[in-house]
Structure 1
Amino acid sequence: MKTAMISAACMALGLGAATAAGAQDGDVGAALYADYCAACHGANALGDGDMANVMTIPSPNLTLLAQANDGEFPMLKVIHIIDGRTGIRAHGGPMPVFGRVFASSEPGPANPYGSVLEVRGRTLSLALYLESLQK
């Protein structure tokens, strides 16, 4: 079931099976989490990051996402939150839209799809890492 959900998420993101293996590299997701998420959500994703005490909306414990969803990790919902499609609010304003942050700084005629694939790959890597942290 888990593999089918990951495959469905990859297809929903427009990624083929060839790129799914690269996106599953836990080191990529862990590094992205450390760089972009840990300050608010904490090093262990418990919602206790250094910035959590200055936020007007509590930072959620990301290890309980599956538990709050009848034991199933809500992969597509998590992807949408990360890339900014949901408008989830934090700090009294929108959560950072990582879809924009993860975009390549060099899109253009020589790289027409690189930025889109880079965003989707990073987003999926981060979502897979969060899935691996579930209790």
Structure 2
Amino acid sequence: MTHLPLKAGLAALALFSLGACSAYAQSVGEQEYMRSCGTCHGVDGTSNTPFSDLLTVAPPDLTTLAANNDGVFPMLQVIHMIDGRSGLRGHGSEMPIWGDRYADDADLAGTYGAELIVRGRVLELAEYLASIQQ
């Protein structure tokens, strides 16, 4: 005997949980963006900020990354650019190496725990950038 109301309820709960997790991740990514990137790239990601004029290399408009890549958000390249520890450096050499900074913040978690925290923060930020594409 199957319990359709129970299965339907569990399915609804799973869908709600996925939506809640997605909304939570976006808000965490947005917070990370405001804390780490907003000063140079602007609150809306278009790099329209008075501070960007003071930089030696102009920061790119982050809302056009997909448009500049045939409509596909370049997730892996963005992750590498944010992390900065792979040798791929954003904006020449002016962009901070966020992977190192995030690792310094997380060093109490131990070597492996710190790396998980770094990767999580970078991924949250990359997911947020994907969500603001024009």
Regarding TM over 0.5, the answer is yes
Cα distance, 1:33 vs. partner?
0.3
- Deviating 4+ runs (over 4 angstroms): none
Instruction: Tell me the distance in 2 between the aligned counterparts of 1:48 and 1:133.
Output: 15
Question: Contact 2:56/2:94 (CA < 8 Å) preserved in 1?
Answer: no
In 2, Cα distance between the equivalents of 1:115 and 1:80?
17
| Residue 58 of structure 2: aligned partner | 58
**Using CA pairs below 8 Å that are at least 6 residues apart, which structure has the higher relative contact order?**
1
Question: Aligned partners of 1:28 and 1:97: how far apart in 2?
Answer: 20
Asked if the contact 2:58–2:91 (Cα under 8 Å) also holds between the matched residues in 1, the reply is no
1:10-89 paired onto structure 2 within 5 Å: 25-84=25-84, 85=86, 86-89=88-91
CA contact (8 A) 2:82 2:90 kept: no
Partner of 1:8: none
Q: CA RMSD in A?
A: 1.9
Residue 100 of structure 1: how far off its partner (Å): 0.9
Secondary structure of the residue that 2:107 maps to in structure 1?
Answer: coil
CA displacement at 1:107 relative to structure 2: 3.9
More helix per residue: 2
Paired residue for 1:130? 129
Number of equivalenced pairs:
110
The CA distance in 2 between the partners of 1:61 and 1:25, in whole Å, is 22
Q: Which runs of 5+ in 1 are unaligned?
A: 1-20
State TM-score, norm by structure 2.
0.75
Give the TM-score taking structure 1 as reference length.
Answer: 0.74
Unaligned runs of 5+ in 2: 1-20
**Partners of 2:40 and 2:125 in 1: CA distance:** 15
Give 1:55's aligned amino acid.
Answer: L
Q: Structure 1: how far apart are the matches of 2:101 and 2:114? A: 11
Amino acid at match of 2:128: Y
Alpha-carbon distance in structure 1 between the residues aligned to 2:54 and 2:90: 17
Match of 1:11 in 2: none
Matched, 1:116 2:115: yes
User: For 2:77 and 2:61, how far apart are their aligned partners in 1?
Assistant: 15
Residue range with higher mean Cα deviation, 67-76 or 112-121: 112-121
